[in-house]
Structure 1
């Protein structure tokens, strides 16, 4: 009898396996809900390629065009689902490499992998381009970082992301730069070759961004563009899926004007975002502990500067484009990935993991688990 009570108490104190199972069930539910919704923006991106010359947001569509002349709607979910599964596998591999899967690290895994900011929200935004930045950043955290080839790979990934969507310069490129600095420059030191290569790479990526932003507009009338898109559709009768074709014609000034016009309404979501961030308190405490335990004071200052820099890039995004729920979710994902990079730096002591049997931590973990997603524009 006493042993049975002990088992029940232990299960209540460490419900992390159960929370992991609940997260898996919620992700399945989000997927079922998602495939019933019309994929307005993701589908158009699969239709647009470089038929009319260099234009922004066209790389994924150009790759799809190599394999099929007609694009079915289901391809949005197939391609998005495959990318999601690859990202899940990559993150599981990264977590095993950085922390290992043990009873002690399970709460940390639940807070990150089960966060509504991360895999659950990527499932809700299935077909959007955000997840590609996350996947490539995870690959950089897994690759050997000892040679200038690592910097070259990071530059190539950044170029791919900017060609997928130029907003990646603010969304994931700053995190990629942080990963390169932490894993290569801080770990292996500076020399003329790797510094020069890094600066040149940064200039190339920046130039590509400005080219996409200011020279990547569609060069033909929108009516001609829509006719071409219909020719790429497997079912041209579904014209409602082309209603976002205007975004290839919209200048930056209009995007900013729209964002500020919606600001009074969208800003109401900020307290909700703040609450969601606060619910991850045990994770943030662990992150602060990791930074505080770093062996080098210079490393601590550089990591703090990088976190501010990545966050400022998202502030700029908030001012330019109004998909606030996506931006705050990807900001959190960037924090998660930088946490992994920081764990790879030399430390003076081992940071205590997220406590598995702390009552408050259990409550935070349960609430975080039960939140199915954050959303695209407004919370939920």
Structure 2
């Protein structure tokens, strides 16, 4: 029995992943939710401002926001994302012994669900969840393009950095699932162009016109009226976010760059640990029936990566950015699987010793973090 488990350990690794996720959750709920909590307090009370959509939705249901709502809302979103990804994987690959290594390298990656658990309450996971929905719903009409535009607008209203973080992946999914299948015509191009222009204008409005229009002291006083526990004023210390200009964010990022850049070798190591997954992804791209499709996918991957490079230069939450970049790669992998192929790509081997060791290390790595590794 022991020899069989060591030879094909993937079911055991999935069970270990579940235990690791539970451990990360227990650790997370013991920490003060500084940034996620204040985002639930901020709404459109003073007009259009950035980072206020989630708080505005919460305000529709309650005037006083308890701290536990951060974990309840974040936990529900996490569970929904897990269910959506499981449905997507089942649709693309199915669940069987031979597909378990592929599932374990993605679902069990420290970049993905485990890191989303560590960043519970942050906005990153919404982009992932909405992108997965776009990989699941029918893409046969312009309603699909309109839905993708609506999702992108929602994401920019949640946080305008989504324009770089998940909107490029959503655009890639739309191109792969709709435009490659149905071609370009006047209506397709017009709807796509209008959608892109609308999202871009909204981003610039949020970035440059979305600053809080009242003094910070008055803003904080308003946030205090929404506290369910008046004693938790320590959770309001990040109110400056709604006043900080882009130039200050870039300046802070570059001042911390010499220190934070030390984490790059760790990120590179974590990416290398996923080598079997990346080899499979490359195999999928090489197996595409159309050379044009291959070139488009490669160009899209470069474009998504460049968007993340811009984020690295602007905001220093490096562990989050590299984790979400990897998640975007996982999602594009599923999109590529939907394209016509000239032959089947061999899956990650289930009984290869080196692959099993890498899978074990990936499984035991609990998370990547928010700013610096771990």
Q: 1:140 matched to which residue of 2?
A: 134
Q: Superposed, which structure 2 residues align to 1:327-346 within 5 Å?
A: 327-346=321-340
Q: 2:293 matched to which residue of 1?
A: 299
TM-score, length of structure 1 as denominator length:
0.98
Q: Residues 186-231 of structure 1, C-alpha deviation per residue, up to 9 Å, x if partnerless?
A: 1121111111100110000000000000000000000000000000
Q: Superposed, which structure 2 residues align to 1:1-380 within 5 Å?
A: 7-380=1-374
| CA distance, structure 1, for counterparts of residue 95 and residue 185 of structure 2 | 37
Aligned-partner SS, 2:79 = helix
Could you tell me which runs of 5 or more consecutive residues in structure 2 were left unpaired when the two chains were aligned. none
| CA distance, structure 2, for counterparts of residue 188 and residue 280 of structure 1 | 34
| CA distance, structure 2, for counterparts of residue 188 and residue 105 of structure 1 | 30
| CA distance, structure 1, for counterparts of residue 32 and residue 5 of structure 2 | 42
Q: Residues 113-171 of structure 1, C-alpha deviation per residue, up to 9 Å, x if partnerless?
A: 00000000000000000000000000000000010000000000000000000000000
Aligned-partner SS, 1:236 = coil
Q: How many residues align?
A: 374
| CA distance, structure 2, for counterparts of residue 266 and residue 9 of structure 1 | 43
Contact 2:148 2:170 (8 Å CA) reproduced: yes
| CA distance, structure 1, for counterparts of residue 187 and residue 298 of structure 2 | 26
| CA distance, structure 1, for counterparts of residue 165 and residue 344 of structure 2 | 31
| CA distance, structure 1, for counterparts of residue 231 and residue 8 of structure 2 | 54
Could you tell me which runs of 5 or more consecutive residues in structure 1 were left unpaired when the two chains were aligned. 1-6
Q: CA deviation at 1:238?
A: 1.0
Contact 2:5 2:12 (8 Å CA) reproduced: no
| CA distance, structure 2, for counterparts of residue 268 and residue 257 of structure 1 | 18
Q: CA deviation at 1:9?
A: 3.0
Contact 2:157 2:206 (8 Å CA) reproduced: yes
Q: CA deviation at 1:307?
A: 0.2
Q: CA deviation at 1:8?
A: 3.7
| CA distance, structure 1, for counterparts of residue 134 and residue 197 of structure 2 | 20
| CA distance, structure 2, for counterparts of residue 271 and residue 113 of structure 1 | 23
Aligned-partner SS, 2:370 = coil
